[in-house]
């Protein structure tokens, strides 16, 4: 089938909401379709693209960060346009967006965090890992203002990869963190950190940990850090043994934990302590965090900590005008990523990434996700309700009439260049700009 037979005389015009891995892998897959000509406009509420790759992947995971090169290639495709710093649901409605395009893909991720629902959760010093990750990633919405790591002990709740990331950033030596892209002010706080002990607290046992063994191994092998594991915790019962036997990744993590439990402590200056079977029950303190209580019965313990980072999973946020399943934090879809409205497929609306499948998987998981949505759109193309007079200037005109300035590809190129130049001056690959005003002025700078 030729492109013309799908959409006579013109390209299929698609909007992708979200310039993170979910959105950009979808845009890339759409451009790869051989028999459908497409034009893809990618909108993002932030001035800088790449979503969780820029604002979630840990700054010391340089190999993973390098996936940005592939995403940049998608943005550089002449059929793709970037509309950064544009908030769908605020600067324009979903209904207005749909008017301008033949199809819309929502790839809005999972922007908030799950709650624990325990006393003390909102005390100063108790913070979601999402907010902490935003802070060290230089996210312009970062909500941890005035972070001070002025306590000697911190607790990280949860046994996932995000917990592993925040433990590493908290406990790693500053010399190992300096070559990263973290904003200058974040490096200053980390350099002054007094944290020597991090307690990792899991509500279940080693056989239920969600982290991947490769990531877990990293925190067990940090220079200058002892790992403290209670040998009783790694004695698995029959059910746990069976679970571990059937899962290579888990088996590697558990073997490593067992090895750590046997390791003599070396008197290293910093320590990671693991606490299993210890659901957090209360965060303690009068005006700010002073401790945490976790575990029940023989497993109950109270730890003195001045900081609690709750790393118990991300959660999707509703986009006005799009159906939302609050129980999963996702947009309901069929198996091909087509939006379901009142249980029926809504023509021309799709979902990719965490907004579809929930906060699971790694960055690369979004590639097949994008291919899935692209294939669905291709299969549906002939039956789409096409916009009568699709005008490539329509979105620009609408946003212009509302005085919404856009950070386009050239604006992003200027932000990128400014960050790389700041980094070069300090001998690191990049030093991130972290506020809206810094990002916007860099995007509009005369060069």
Using CB under 6 A, list all residues that contact ligand NAP: 114, 116, 157-163, 165, 202-204, 208, 210, 212, 215, 279, 311-314, 359-362
Which residues touch 362 (CB under 8 Å, ≥6 apart)?
none
Show the tokens assigned to 325: 């399943």
Q: Which is nearer to ligand NAP, 91 or 128 (CB)?
A: 128
Q: C-alpha distances in angstroms, 392 versus 13, 14, 102, 398?
A: 8, 11, 12, 11
CB of 22 to ligand NAP, least distance (A): 13
Q: How many CB atoms lie within 10 A of CB 2?
A: 8
Q: Which is nearer to ligand NAP, 101 or 314 (CB)?
A: 314
CB of 162 to ligand NAP, least distance (A): 3
CB of 367 to ligand NAP, least distance (A): 14
Q: Which is nearer to ligand NAP, 313 or 353 (CB)?
A: 313
CB of 51 to ligand NAP, least distance (A): 12
CB of 331 to ligand NAP, least distance (A): 18
Return the SS3 of 401.
Answer: helix
Strands 112-113, 314-315: pairing is: antiparallel
Q: Which is nearer to ligand NAP, 13 or 65 (CB)?
A: 65
Kind plus residue range of the DSSP H or E element containing 32: helix 21-32
Q: Which is nearer to ligand NAP, 208 or 282 (CB)?
A: 208
List the alpha helices (DSSP H) in 340-384. Answer: 354-357, 366-380
Q: Give 60's Cβ-side CA count (13 Å radius).
A: 21
In the block, which residue shows the tokens 């592939």? 70
Q: Which is nearer to ligand NAP, 39 or 215 (CB)?
A: 215
Q: Which is nearer to ligand NAP, 101 or 132 (CB)?
A: 132
Q: What is the DSSP string of 160-219?
A: SHHHHHHHHHHHS-HHHHTTS---HHHHHHHHT----EEEEE-SS-GGG--S-HHHHHHH
Q: Which is nearer to ligand NAP, 157 or 431 (CB)?
A: 157
| 122 CB-contact burial (10 Å; exposed 0-12 / middle 13-18 / buried 19+) | exposed
Which residues touch 213 (CB under 8 Å, ≥6 apart)?
249, 250, 252, 253, 256
| 375 CB-contact burial (10 Å; exposed 0-12 / middle 13-18 / buried 19+) | middle
Q: Which is nearer to ligand NAP, 106 or 277 (CB)?
A: 277
CB of 274 to ligand NAP, least distance (A): 12
Residue nearest to ligand NAP (CB): 160
CB of 35 to ligand NAP, least distance (A): 34
The three-point CA angle 299-302-306 to 5° equals: 140
Please give the backbone phi and psi of residue 95, each rounded to the nearest 5 degrees, phi first: -60, -40
Q: C-alpha distances in angstroms, 183 versus 61, 163, 277, 371?
A: 16, 21, 37, 34
CB of 141 to ligand NAP, least distance (A): 18
CB of 211 to ligand NAP, least distance (A): 7
Q: Say how far apart CA 224 and CA 41 lie, in whole Å.
A: 48
Return the SS3 of 331.
Answer: coil
Q: Which is nearer to ligand NAP, 312 or 433 (CB)?
A: 312
Which residues touch 65 (CB under 8 Å, ≥6 apart)?
53, 57, 59, 181
CB of 108 to ligand NAP, least distance (A): 16
Q: Which is nearer to ligand NAP, 204 or 299 (CB)?
A: 204
CB of 86 to ligand NAP, least distance (A): 26
Q: Which is nearer to ligand NAP, 215 or 369 (CB)?
A: 215
CB of 315 to ligand NAP, least distance (A): 10
């Amino acid at each position: 089938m030729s492109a013309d037979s799908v959409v006579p005389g013109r390209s299929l015009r698609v909007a992708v909401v979200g310039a993170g891995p979910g959105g950009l892998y979808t845009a890339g897959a759409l451009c790869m379709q051989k028999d459908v000509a497409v034009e893809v406009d990618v909108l993002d509420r932030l001035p800088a693209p790449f979503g969780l790759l820029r604002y979630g992947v840990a700054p010391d995971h340089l190999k993973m960060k390098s996936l940005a090169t592939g995403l940049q290639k998608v943005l550089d495709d002449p059929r793709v346009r970037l509309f950064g710093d544009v908030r769908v649901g605020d600067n324009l409605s979903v209904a207005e967006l749909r008017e301008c395009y033949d199809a819309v893909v929502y790839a809005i991720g999972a922007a908030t965090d799950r709650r624990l629902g325990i006393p003390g959760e909102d005390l100063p010093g108790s913070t979601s890992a999402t907010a902490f990750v935003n802070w060290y990633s230089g996210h312009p919405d970062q909500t941890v203002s005035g972070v001070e790591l002025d306590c000697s002990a911190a607790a990280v709740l949860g046994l996932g990869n995000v917990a592993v990331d925040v433990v590493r950033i908290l406990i790693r030596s500053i010399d190992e963190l300096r070559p990263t892209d973290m904003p200058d002010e974040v490096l200053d706080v980390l350099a002054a950190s007094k944290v020597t002990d991090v307690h990792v607290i899991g509500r279940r046992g080693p056989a239920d940990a969600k982290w991947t063994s490769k990531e877990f191994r990293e925190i067990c092998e940090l220079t200058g850090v002892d790992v403290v594991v209670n040998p009783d915790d790694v004695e698995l019962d029959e059910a746990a043994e069976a679970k571990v036997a059937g899962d290579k990744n888990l088996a590697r993590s558990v073997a490593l934990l067992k090895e750590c439990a046997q390791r003599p402590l070396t008197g290293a200056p910093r320590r990671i302590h693991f606490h299993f079977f210890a659901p957090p029950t209360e965060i303690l303190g009068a005006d700010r965090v002073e401790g945490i209580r976790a575990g029940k019965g023989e497993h109950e313990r109270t730890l003195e900590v001045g900081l609690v980072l709750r790393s118990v999973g991300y959660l999707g946020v509703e986009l006005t005008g799009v159906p939302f399943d609050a129980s999963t934090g996702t947009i309901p879809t069929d198996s091909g990523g087509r939006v379901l409205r009142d249980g029926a497929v809504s023509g021309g609306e799709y979902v990719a990434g965490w907004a579809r499948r929930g906060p699971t998987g790694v960055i690369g998981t979004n590639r097949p996700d994008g291919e899935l949505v692209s294939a669905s759109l291709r299969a549906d193309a002939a039956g789409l309700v096409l916009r009568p007079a699709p005008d490539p200037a329509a979105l620009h005109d609408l946003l212009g009439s509302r005085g919404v300035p856009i950070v386009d590809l050239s604006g992003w190129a200027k932000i990128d260049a400014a960050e790389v130049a700041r980094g070069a001056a300090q001998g690191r690959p990049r030093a991130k700009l972290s506020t809206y005003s810094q990002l916007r002025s860099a995007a509009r700078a005369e060069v």
